[in-house]
Every structure is written in structure tokens, then in C-alpha cells.
């Protein structure tokens, strides 16, 4: 009993090292005075100063945020309707639809990205923010639907019937009962959609137009240009912090969702 | 005028007729129960009255008005659900106020009316509590208050006490009946528990397989069952004797002697139903219309009464005697006794109810 506990603990520690060592190294060296990655000479914020005075970074951040916001809104609305459809109504082909929702989650991202590009070219749609948004949303809807569907499956619909017997029409019931009861799940799904969009590189890379860059995109392009560099470490650390923040929000929302 | 009328309601789910041609007339301010075993269609009937389920055919009338096609939120009914269905994101006040808000009642009036109804259900001062901070019995009363505060013309209750433990349930039974008297509203109460139905109801409708078996007061359905099903479903035990009736005499192969009954019609097949407490037991009996010789096979002390099982020929009769009789005399297993009853105290179940 004791032995297995010790073994499990050592094992867990190794897994954590394996998972987080690269990130920790990157974060540490983003505060390194020297340019080299070999030795840590002194603590410095100069790389952060360098990126925060760079307007390209601010524009990219702005782009990432507003694209993320639009994608989140679109995914929530579509995902909600999708989840409602598959949990409340029975129609021909429902099991197929139910399974199809999962496909964007399981196929490789590069395939999604390429297929998007092929479609845009085929339809002759000029690449730019719109195509990025469509690309992100088309796949984030799947994640949102899965989260909301799980919540709805465990949701007792008699509260809606109770509202009906108390004089609420269908619309009032939806806005005063269904939506508020679903709210933690919607929040969790929304934060997930935002994080997915905010972190996305591959789909953005394939579907963006000239001059439209998001945060992951400038990280990638500067890495491609000059290899790893301290200012890139700082930029990535910054991007990770934002994602982390949203992840914390999401976990809290999910906890609340299970609590209700 | 009737509070609720159902005319030939039919509702099928696939092959199952959940409600099979049910007609009912429920009076104003009546405490009316729908009683029956699980799956007999009670909930479905209630949901049809509420408009939550659409009947395949038939008419629903509330206060004489045909509401068959009127949506739920326009029917002015109240409903207490089996699992209460309180709104988890609202506190007690908001839950109770919901129906008034939907009716656009002014804010001040909402406050007063919520306060008043919470007093009725004995929850004063609990307004700000969240639902998950209440005990089962308190949640029960919130659900009741929420349904009553809009002053519905009829209150529908679907096994509202099912989730409570015995003590609170007994308490709530008395409470419910008191509340019903105080607010003066028609209550339609669904339950599979005969004690609940018997305790509270003015009248009871007994259902089986989607069909109405009998409608009557608790004493009527108890002492005058109209079918073998009602006879055995209601009460703890009953003695059913099957036979043919000719000129007020029931003959049966089981018993060597004719049984006198109060029944004018002749019938080739009928049941005589005799409640255990109707039957007298003693070593010598006189002055009763039907007296049989038997042997005591079982004696079970049940507190306020004693249950004897008395063998008469191939039959066993269940006889209940008030415990007070123990002070004088008790009968032991194997003892020879006489059992008897008056002809007008048994009920005849006509051939249609066999
Ligand atoms: N939505 C539904 N879909 C299919 N069948 C249903 C549905 N609702 C009820 N039924 C069936 O109709 C019959 C009556 O159901 P109902 O819920 O009215 O019974 P009940 O008397 O309330 O039973 P219980 O005491 O178990 O609550 C049952 O056979 C049930 O399986
Ligand atoms: Mg039921």
C-alpha cells in the first residue's frame, strides 16, 4: 500500500516535469538578461519592454481578442441550437447528426485547415479576418455543442413545465428559466471556444489573408524567421498567461456547472 | 358548474393507451384524488388537465370552458410536480413570485402576496434562502406556495409527498388538507398511496391500465368496491367470495352453506366483498345473517387490532378484531370458532366488475 503510493507520487512528479519543463524553461529565460539560451546571467524585463513597445504585437493581440470574441458568440448561438436540437427533438437522421458533431474534434487540425482553404479557394472567397472567423467557428461549434449537450442531458426539463404552469409563455420560459439554468455551462463552453480560437495557429495560418495576424501567428513567424530568441520567449509567456487566465475562468465555471 | 371536466379522454404512447376513455367531473373546491398502481396513467391524466400533454381525443373543460386547445400558460392552473421542479437559480421569494411576475402584478402587491402565502405554508422569514438550503419538507412547501400564490382555479399535485419520509409525510397530509380548506381551491391529487388518498380526499378516482375503475368517497370505495380490483387495491385486506346469486342468496362451491346477501338481481357470476373488521368472531354467535364454523390458523397482533386467519372449509377468512377485545378473550391457533356478519354489511361486486 505504502510502496504503491510512493511509486505513484514519483511517477506523477515525472509526468509533471515532462509536461511543464519546457514551459518553465521558456518562462525563466524570458527574464534572462543575456541573449543566449545557454546561461541565465541576470534578471531583466528588457525583452518584455521590447515586445510591449512593438505595435505589431498590440495589433496582433487586438486581432486575437476580437476574432476570439466573435467566434465565441457565433459558436455559442449555433452550439446552443445544435444542443437543443439533439437533446429535445427526435428527427430523421438524429443519431447521424449526433455523431457527426464529434468529427471536427477527432480529425487532425491540419486536415481541417487544409479543407477550409480548399473550400475558400473553390468558392473564391478572399482570405482575411472573415475567413479566419468562419474557420475557427466551424470547429469550435463542435466543442461548444458537446459541452452544452452534456449539460442538457442531465437537466430536468420539468422546471420549464413548472414555469409554463405559472403563466410563462415559451419565450419567457427560455429566457427566464432555460438560459439562466444553463448559464454556467454556456460560460464554460464560451471560455473554451475563446481559448481554442485564441490559441489556434494552424487554421489561422491557412485561412488568413495578407497583413491579418493573430498573436500565435506572429510568434510562429518570428520563430520561423530568427529561431528561438529571448523576446520570443517573452511573447510566448505573455500569450500563455492569457490562455491560462481563461483556463482558470473556465475551470471555475465548470465547477459551478457541476454544482448546480 | 364543475371545476374540471374530462370527456372521453384518450391518450396513446405508441401501443400503450396511457389514458383510455376517461370521463370525470370534479366539483368546485373538492379535494379529488387519482389513485392507482404505477403506470396506470395518473400523471398523464394530470398533465392533460394542465395542457402539458395533448389528448388524442376528448375534451377538457375548466369551469365549463373548453380548454382542450388552450396552451398551459393560459389555463390559470397551479401544479406541484413530483420532483418539485423548483427553480435552482432563484431563492424562495423569487420562486414564489415567479407566477405573479408573469401576470404583471405590481411589485408591492407581489411582496404582500408572497408574504401572505409563505405564512399559509409556514415559511415566513425564509424569503432569502436558496433552494438547496432547505429541507425536503420546506422545499415541498415552497413548491406548494409557488403554485398557490397565483390563486389558480385548480391545483394539480403529482405525488407531491413521494420523496418525503414517513413522519413528514403524515404531517404534510394534514397540512395539505388544512391548506386546501383555507384557500378554498379545487385540489386534484395524484398518488399511488391509498393512505394519502383516503386521508385527504373528498372523492377518489381509482385507475387501472388507463381506465377509471370507480369514483367515490373514501368510505364508498372502501366498503362498496365495484370491482374485484378496487376491492383488493383499497384497504389492507378483504375477503372475496365468488359465486352465483339467486334470490338474495349466494352459492359457492367453496362453502357448504348458502350466504345471504343484499342484492336484488340474479347473477351467474359475482363477488361478495367483506372487510375483515365487519366480521365477528367468537365461540358462539347469534343474530347474524351469515354464521360459519371455522378453525383459527393464525393470530397476528398488529397493535390497535388483531388479525385472525380462520379456515372455513377450503377457504381462509381474514378477520380483524379491535385490540380491546383481547382484554376479555383471545383465540388461539387451532381453536374452533364461529365467524359471522350481517347480510347488508357485505358488498356485491356485479358481474361487470368481476
Ligand atoms: N412520454 C411518454 N412516452 C411514452 N410512454 C409514456 C410517456 N409517458 C407515459 N408513458 C406511458 O404511459 C403509461 C402511463 O404513464 P403515467 O406516467 O401516466 O403513469 P402513472 O400512473 O403516473 O405512474 P407512476 O405512479 O409510476 O407515476 C405508462 O405505461 C407509461 O410508460
Ligand atoms: Mg406518475
* Mean of all residue pLDDT scores within chain B: 91
Domain count within chain B: 2
**Residue from the list B52, B98, B156 with its beta carbon closest to the beta carbon of A166:** B98
Kindly report the CATH number assigned to the domain that includes residue B257. 2.40.50.100
The answer to whether position B228 is within a domain reads no
A156 and chain B: CB distance < 8 Å anywhere?
yes
Cβ–ligand 1 distance for B83 under 6 Å, the answer: no
Kindly determine whether residue A164 and residue B98, on different chains, have CB atoms separated by under 8 Å. Answer: no
B78 CA: distance to closest CA in chain A (Å): 6
**Does B176 lie in the same domain as B49?**
yes
Here the cell at position A213 is: 495576424
Smallest CA separation from ligand 1 atom 2, residue: B13
Between chain A and chain B, the number of residue pairs with CB atoms below 8 A apart is 68
**Does B252 lie in the same domain as B173?**
no
Instruction: Using the predicted structure, report yes or no on whether residue B37 has a pLDDT greater than 90.
Output: yes
* Mean of all residue pLDDT scores within chain A: 86
Strands (E), chain B: 2-13, 16-27, 31-35, 57-62, 65-66, 77-80, 154-158, 186-191, 203-208, 211-216, 239-246, 249-251, 259-260, 267-274, 280-282, 290-301, 305-312, 315-322, 336-341, 347-349
Kindly determine whether residue B88 and residue A159, on different chains, have CB atoms separated by under 8 Å. Answer: yes
Kindly report the CATH number assigned to the domain that includes residue B174. 3.40.50.300
- Tens of pLDDT, residues A51-100: 888 888 889 989 999 999 999 999 999 999 888 888 888 888 888 888 88
* Residue that is last in its domain, among B223, B257, B291: B223
The answer to whether position B229 is within a domain reads no
* pLDDT band with cut points at 50, 70 and 90 for residue A259: low
Instruction: Using the predicted structure, report yes or no on whether residue B164 has a pLDDT greater than 80.
Output: no
* Residue that is last in its domain, among B223, B250, B283: B223
Chain A 159-178, residues with CB within 8 Å of chain B CB atoms: 159, 161-169, 172, 176-177
Backbone angles phi, psi at B31, to 5 degrees: -95, 105
Kindly determine whether residue B72 and residue A161, on different chains, have CB atoms separated by under 8 Å. Answer: yes
| Chain A residues with CB-CB distance to B75 below 8 A | 165
Q: What is the pLDDT of residue B339?
A: 94
**Does B205 lie in the same domain as B270?**
no
Instruction: Using the predicted structure, report yes or no on whether residue A156 has a pLDDT greater than 90.
Output: no
Q: Please give the residue of chain A at the shortest CA–CA distance from B49.
A: A165
**Pairing between β-strand B57-62 and β-strand B77-80 as defined by DSSP bridges:** unpaired
What CA–CA distances, in Å, run from B214 to A70, A78, B155, B187?
A: 62, 52, 22, 19
* pLDDT band with cut points at 50, 70 and 90 for residue A260: very low
Query: Whole-model pTM?
Result: 0.79
Q: Please give the residue of chain A at the shortest CA–CA distance from B73.
A: A167
A163 CA: distance to closest CA in chain B (Å): 8
**Does B167 lie in the same domain as B301?**
no
- Which residue would you say has higher pLDDT here, A257 or B151? B151
**Does B291 lie in the same domain as B247?**
yes
**Residue from the list B85, B99, B146 with its beta carbon closest to the beta carbon of A156:** B85
- Which residue would you say has higher pLDDT here, B350 or A228? B350
B167, B159 in Cβ contact below 8 A? no
* pLDDT band with cut points at 50, 70 and 90 for residue A161: very high
In a mutational test of the B interface, the residue from A90, A159, A166, A169 whose CB has the highest number of chain B CBs within 10 Å is A166
- Tens of pLDDT, residues A203-246: 999 999 888 999 899 888 888 877 777 778 888 888 888 888 88
**Does B176 lie in the same domain as B123?**
yes
- Tens of pLDDT, residues B311-326: 998 899 999 999 888 7
Among A149-153, B83-87, B188-192, whose mean pLDDT is lowest? A149-153
Cβ–ligand 1 distance for B208 under 6 Å, the answer: no
The answer to whether position B212 is within a domain reads yes
- In percent, how much of chain B has pLDDT > 90? 63
* Average pLDDT value for residue range A105-127: 90
* Residue that is last in its domain, among B223, B252, B278: B223
B13 CA: distance to closest CA in chain A (Å): 15
Q: What is the pLDDT of residue A51?
A: 82
Instruction: Using the predicted structure, report yes or no on whether residue A254 has a pLDDT greater than 80.
Output: no
Domain chopping of chain A, boundaries = 48-259
| Chain B residues with CB-CB distance to A176 below 8 A | 98
d(CA A239, CA B236): 73
Kindly determine whether residue A162 and residue B87, on different chains, have CB atoms separated by under 8 Å. Answer: yes
- DSSP classification of residue B353: G
* pLDDT band with cut points at 50, 70 and 90 for residue A257: low
The CATH code belonging to domain A48-259 is 1.10.3720.10
Q: What is the pLDDT of residue B83?
A: 87
Instruction: Using the predicted structure, report yes or no on whether residue B19 has a pLDDT greater than 60.
Output: yes
Question: How far does the centroid of ligand 2 lie from the alpha carbon of residue A195, in Å?
Answer: 45
Q: Please give the residue of chain A at the shortest CA–CA distance from B50.
A: A165
SS3 of residue B28 by DSSP: coil
Instruction: Using the predicted structure, report yes or no on whether residue A1 has a pLDDT greater than 60.
Output: no
* pLDDT band with cut points at 50, 70 and 90 for residue B172: confident
**Does B246 lie in the same domain as B200?**
no
Question: How far does the centroid of ligand 2 lie from the alpha carbon of residue B45, in Å?
Answer: 9
A236 CA: distance to closest CA in chain B (Å): 40
Q: What is the pLDDT of residue A258?
A: 61
- Tens of pLDDT, residues B235-264: 888 999 988 888 888 888 888 888 888 877
Smallest CA separation from ligand 1 atom 29, residue: B39
* Average pLDDT value for residue range B226-234: 91
Kindly determine whether residue A165 and residue B52, on different chains, have CB atoms separated by under 8 Å. Answer: yes
Q: What is the pLDDT of residue B219?
A: 94
**Does B165 lie in the same domain as B33?**
yes
Q: Please give the residue of chain A at the shortest CA–CA distance from B96.
A: A166
Dmax (CA) for chain A in angstroms is 72
- Which residue would you say has higher pLDDT here, A3 or B71? B71
Nearest to B190 by CA among B29, B36, B2: B36
> Any alpha helices (H) in B2-106, and if so which ranges?
42-50, 92-102
Smallest CA separation from ligand 1 atom 14, residue: B41
Smallest CA separation from ligand 1 atom 22, residue: B43
d(CA B115, CA B126): 10
Q: What is the pLDDT of residue A45?
A: 83
d(CA A38, CA A32): 10
Q: What is the pLDDT of residue A2?
A: 65
Q: Please give the residue of chain B at the shortest CA–CA distance from A162.
A: B85
Ligand nearest to the CA of B37: 1
- Residues sharing a CB contact under 8 Å with residue A164, sequence separation 6 or more, in sequence order: A170, A173, B51, B52, B71, B72, B73
Smallest CA separation from ligand 1 atom 1, residue: B13
Question: How far does the centroid of ligand 2 lie from the alpha carbon of residue B113, in Å?
Answer: 31
Instruction: Using the predicted structure, report yes or no on whether residue B57 has a pLDDT greater than 60.
Output: yes
**Residue from the list A156, A164, A180 with its beta carbon closest to the beta carbon of B72:** A164
Cβ–ligand 1 distance for B41 under 6 Å, the answer: yes
Question: How far does the centroid of ligand 2 lie from the alpha carbon of residue B82, in Å?
Answer: 8
- In percent, how much of chain A has pLDDT > 70? 98
A21 CA: distance to closest CA in chain B (Å): 42
Bridge partners (DSSP) of residue B35 are B191, B206
Q: What is the pLDDT of residue B354?
A: 63
Cβ–ligand 1 distance for B39 under 6 Å, the answer: yes
d(CA B306, CA B325): 9
* pLDDT band with cut points at 50, 70 and 90 for residue B163: confident
Domain of B158 in residue numbering reads as: 2-223
**Does B243 lie in the same domain as B219?**
no
Amino acid at each position: 500500500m505504502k510502496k504503491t503510493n510512493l511509486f505513484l507520487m514519483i511517477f506523477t512528479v515525472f509526468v509533471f516535469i515532462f509536461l511543464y519543463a519546457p514551459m518553465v524553461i521558456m518562462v525563466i529565460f524570458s527574464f534572462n538578461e543575456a541573449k543566449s539560451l545557454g546561461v541565465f546571467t541576470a534578471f531583466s524585463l528588457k525583452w518584455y519592454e521590447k515586445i510591449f513597445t512593438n505595435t505589431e504585437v498590440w495589433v496582433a493581440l487586438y486581432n486575437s481578442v476580437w476574432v476570439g470574441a466573435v467566434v465565441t458568440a457565433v459558436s455559442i448561438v449555433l452550439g446552443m441550437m445544435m444542443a437543443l436540437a439533439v437533446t429535445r427533438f427526435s428527427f430523421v437522421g438524429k443519431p447521424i447528426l449526433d455523431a457527426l458533431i464529434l468529427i471536427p474534434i477527432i480529425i487532425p487540425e491540419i486536415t481541417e485547415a487544409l479543407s477550409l482553404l480548399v473550400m475558400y479557394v473553390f468558392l473564391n472567397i478572399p482570405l482575411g479576418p472573415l475567413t479566419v472567423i468562419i474557420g475557427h467557428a466551424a470547429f469550435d461549434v463542435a466543442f461548444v455543442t458537446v459541452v452544452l449537450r452534456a449539460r442538457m442531458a442531465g437537466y430536468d426539463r420539468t422546471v420549464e413545465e413548472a414555469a409554463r404552469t405559472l403563466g410563462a409563455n415559451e419565450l419567457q420560459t427560455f429566457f427566464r428559466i432555460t438560459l439562466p439554468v444553463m448559464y454556467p455551462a454556456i460560460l464554460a463552453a464560451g471560455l473554451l471556444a475563446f481559448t481554442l480560437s485564441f490559441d489556434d495557429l494552424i487554421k489561422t495560418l491557412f485561412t488568413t489573408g495578407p497583413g491579418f495576424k493573430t498573436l500565435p501567428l506572429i510568434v510562429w513567424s518570428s520563430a520561423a524567421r530568427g529561431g528561438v530568441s529571448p523576446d520570443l520567449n517573452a511573447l510566448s509567456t505573455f500569450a500563455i498567461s492569457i490562455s491560462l487566465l481563461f483556463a482558470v475562468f473556465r475551470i471555475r465555471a465548470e465547477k459551478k456547472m457541476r454544482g448546480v | 358548474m364543475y371545476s374540471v371536466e374530462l370527456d372521453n379522454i384518450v391518450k396513446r404512447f405508441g401501443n400503450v393507451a396511457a389514458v383510455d376513455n376517461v370521463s370525470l367531473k370534479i366539483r368546485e373546491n373538492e379535494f379529488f384524488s387519482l389513485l392507482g398502481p404505477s403506470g396506470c396513467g395518473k400523471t398523464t391524466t394530470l398533465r392533460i388537465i394542465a395542457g402539458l400533454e395533448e389528448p388524442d381525443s376528448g375534451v377538457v373543460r375548466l369551469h365549463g370552458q373548453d380548454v382542450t386547445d388552450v396552451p398551459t400558460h393560459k389555463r390559470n392552473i397551479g401544479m406541484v410536480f413530483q420532483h418539485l421542479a423548483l427553480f435552482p437559480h432563484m431563492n424562495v421569494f423569487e420562486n414564489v413570485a415567479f407566477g405573479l411576475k408573469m401576470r404583471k402584478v405590481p411589485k408591492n402587491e407581489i411582496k404582500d402576496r408572497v408574504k401572505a402565502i409563505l405564512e399559509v405554508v409556514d415559511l415566513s422569514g425564509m424569503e432569502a434562502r436558496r433552494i438547496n438550503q432547505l429541507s425536503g419538507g420546506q422545499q415541498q412547501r415552497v413548491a406548494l406556495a409557488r403554485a398557490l400564490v397565483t390563486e389558480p382555479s385548480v391545483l394539480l399535485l403529482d405525488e407531491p409527498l413521494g420523496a418525503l419520509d414517513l413522519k413528514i409525510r403524515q404531517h404534510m397530509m394534514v397540512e395539505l388538507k388544512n391548506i386546501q380548506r383555507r384557500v378554498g381551491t379545487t385540489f386534484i391529487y395524484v398518488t399511488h398511496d391509498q393512505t394519502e388518498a383516503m386521508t385527504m380526499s373528498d372523492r377518489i378516482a381509482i385507475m387501472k391500465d388507463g381506465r377509471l375503475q370507480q369514483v367515490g368517497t373514501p368510505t364508498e370505495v372502501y366498503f362498496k368496491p365495484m370491482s374485484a380490483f378496487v376491492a383488493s387495491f383499497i384497504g389492507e385486506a378483504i375477503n372475496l367470495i365468488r359465486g352465483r346469486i339467486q334470490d338474495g342468496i349466494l352459492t359457492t362451491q367453496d362453502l357448504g352453506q348458502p350466504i345471504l346477501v343484499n342484492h336484488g338481481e340474479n347473477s351467474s357470476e359475482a363477488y361478495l366483498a367483506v372487510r375483515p373488521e365487519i366480521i365477528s368472531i367468537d365461540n358462539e354467535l347469534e343474530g347474524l345473517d351469515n354464521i360459519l364454523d371455522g378453525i383459527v390458523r393464525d393470530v397476528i397482533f398488529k397493535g390497535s387490532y388483531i388479525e385472525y386467519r380462520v379456515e372455513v372449509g377450503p377457504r381462509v377468512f381474514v378477520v380483524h378484531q379491535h385490540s380491546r377485545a383481547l382484554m376479555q378473550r383471545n383465540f388461539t391457533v387451532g381453536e374452533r370458532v364461529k365467524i359471522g356478519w350481517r347480510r347488508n354489511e357485505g358488498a356485491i361486486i356485479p358481474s361487470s366488475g368481476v
